[in-house]
Amino acid sequence: NAGVTQTPKFRILKIGQSMTLQCTQDMNHNYMYWYRQDPGMGLKLIYYSVGAGITDKGEVPNGYNVSRSTTEDFPLRLELAAPSQTSVYFCASSPKTSGGAPGELFFGEGSRLTVL
Amino acid sequence: KQEVTQIPAALSVPEGENLVLNCSFTDSAIYNLQWFRQDPGKGLTSLLLIQSSQREQTSGRLNASLDKSSGRSTLYIAASQPGDSATYLCAVLNAGGTSYGKLTFGQGTILTVHP
């Protein structure tokens, strides 16, 4: 019962470096999301996907990129890391309901990123 | 733009008390509302999901209600235990406007239940 799996759990980057946060779900969910959580700021949506091959921007997409080549995987790429990207990143997935809207959301354990 | 507010921001109660957490949202065009629990350093765990057509959902000691027309939801926790200590977040799935199909989260209520 893996659910949503994120790697790595922790990472320290230098300013200007790039990296990819991996996210995999084994529940055959259509919808996948990337959020960042900053202290006192709640969760902000970075990017989301309604299915393989389809992605769209959320509230705070600048400095990030995503791809969705398969149903299972939804990696988040950080290009030219900046201190403002220091945060905890959560990947989530949800099934498509009979009405077409997303259903219950399932979260990964998070990836804590520090940019120095 | 949808805004979700949770009150109180923090709550400390003795073990055994019944308590209520509040969530309000500004746009009633929603598909559903979810309550989550987050333990320190962990991800979010879904507690209850209420569809927009429903009035309440129950799971064990938890009961969540939804009044879509007034933009309010409450999470009732009965007979609280120290293990209930966590941050509780609510989120609405938007059915209209520029946030269509996306979840908007509140900032959470930090609950501490002391023995």
Q: Please tell me the number of Cα atoms within 13 Å of B90 on its side-chain side.
A: 29
- Residue B102 clears pLDDT 90, i.e. is over it: no
- Residue B61 clears pLDDT 80, i.e. is over it: yes
Residue A1 has a pLDDT of 67
Distance from CA of A40 to the nearest CA of B (A): 7
A101 and B101 within 8 Å at the Cβ level: the answer is: yes
- Residue B98 clears pLDDT 70, i.e. is over it: no
Coil, helix or strand at residue B79: coil
- Residue A104 clears pLDDT 80, i.e. is over it: yes
Residue type, B112: T
Please report residues of A whose CB lies closer than 8 A to that of B106: 42
Residue B73 has a pLDDT of 98
pLDDT in tens, A44-87: 999 999 999 999 999 899 999 999 999 999 999 998 999 999 99
Please report residues of A whose CB lies closer than 8 A to that of B49: 103-104
Please report residues of A whose CB lies closer than 8 A to that of B105: 42-43
Residue B41 has a pLDDT of 84
Q: In three state form, how does the secondary structure of chain A look?
A: CCCEEEECCEEEECCCCCEEEEEEECCCCCEEEEEEEECCCEEEEEEEEEECCEEEECCCCCCEEECCCCCCECCEEECCCCHHHCEEEEEEEECECCCCCECCCEECCCEEEEEC
Task: Choose among A4, A48, A101: nearest Cβ to B31.
Answer: A101
What's the rounded Cα separation, in Å, for the pair A35 and A33?
7
